[in-house]
Amino acid sequence: MEVHNVELQISAVRPDQYPEQGYPEIALVGRSNVGKSSLTNTLINRKSYARTSSQPGKTQTLNFYRVEDQLFFVDVPGYGYAKVSQKEREKWGKMIEKYITSRKELKGVISLVDARHEPTDDDITMYQYLRYYDIPVLVVATKSDKIARGKWNQHESKIKKALDFDGSSAFQMFSAQTKMGKEEVWKWIEDRMGE
């Protein structure tokens, strides 16, 4: 999709604040610092648009970015903050659960992991959770420019094994630096939009 127009429509904390246009929604999840803002900015051809999730406690909202009056990117706050209290974690969990299990506009979730490392326990839990609810998932392995191309297959296999990757999910190596994988991610999104 050729993107010219993107706007943060709303940072929602409750379902009654979710957008009412009925456009398809693609959610993006991942631990903080995995490269979620960078992926979003690459997809919409901006240098800095999606706000960074580097402020623990200040991003406990679902951010709905309206793209071309056709779809929403839903930025889900990063998980895995060591500093966040148990209470905050529970609040976060409930908000995500409500959104993921009941939002009919949700057409798929992009789950980000770091291409260099084994998925974290949180990464695995999130992936299995999405599978359990039968949500179409694209696992995007970020920062692939930091590993040699000859090692990509090995890293992909390790990540898939750790996640107990299901054949109905999709996987894509990605780099915000080289924009490698951008077209493939868009293709997956566009396929989901039609469902």
Tell whether residue 172 is a contact of ligand GDP (CB under 6 A).
no
Cβ nearer to ligand GDP, comparing 147 with 193: 147
CA distance 28 to 39: 9
Is residue 36 marked as binding?
Answer: yes
**Min dist. Cβ of residue 121 to ligand GDP (A):** 17
Of 75, 84, 71, 65, residue with least CA distance to 9: 65
Q: For ligand GDP, give the closer residue by CB, 52 or 70.
A: 52
State the Cα angle at 38 between 181 and 85, rounded to 5°. 125
Residue closer to ligand GDP (CB basis): 98 or 146: 146
108 labelled binding-site residue: no
Q: Rounded distance, CA 122 to CA 119, Å?
A: 8
- Contact characters 52-91, ligand GDP, x per CB under 6 A: xxx-----------------------x-------------
* Contact set for ligand GDP, span 14-33 (CB under 6 A): 30, 32-33
Q: Please give the C-alpha separations between residue 114 and each of 3, 6, 60, 137, 175, in angstroms, as whole numbers.
A: 26, 26, 22, 16, 10
> Rounded to 10 degrees, what is the CA torsion of 44, 79, 10, 67?
20
Residue 42 tokens, joined: 């690459």
Q: How far is the CB of 51 from ligand GDP (least distance, A)?
A: 9
The response to whether 178 counts as a known ligand-binding position is: no
Please, which residues have CB within 8 angstroms of residue 81's CB and are 6 or more apart in sequence? Answer: 32, 56, 57
**Residue 42 C-beta: closest distance to ligand GDP, Å:** 8
Contacts to ligand GDP from residues 101-120, by CB under 6 A:
none
Q: Confirm whether residue 35 is marked as ligand binding.
A: yes
Residue 11 in marked binding region = no
d(CA 142, CA 115): 5
Q: Which positions lie near ligand GDP, rule CB under 6 A? A: 30, 32-38, 52-54, 78, 142-143, 145-146, 175-177
Q: Which residues are annotated as part of the binding site for GTP? A: 30-37, 57-61, 75-78, 142-145, 173-176
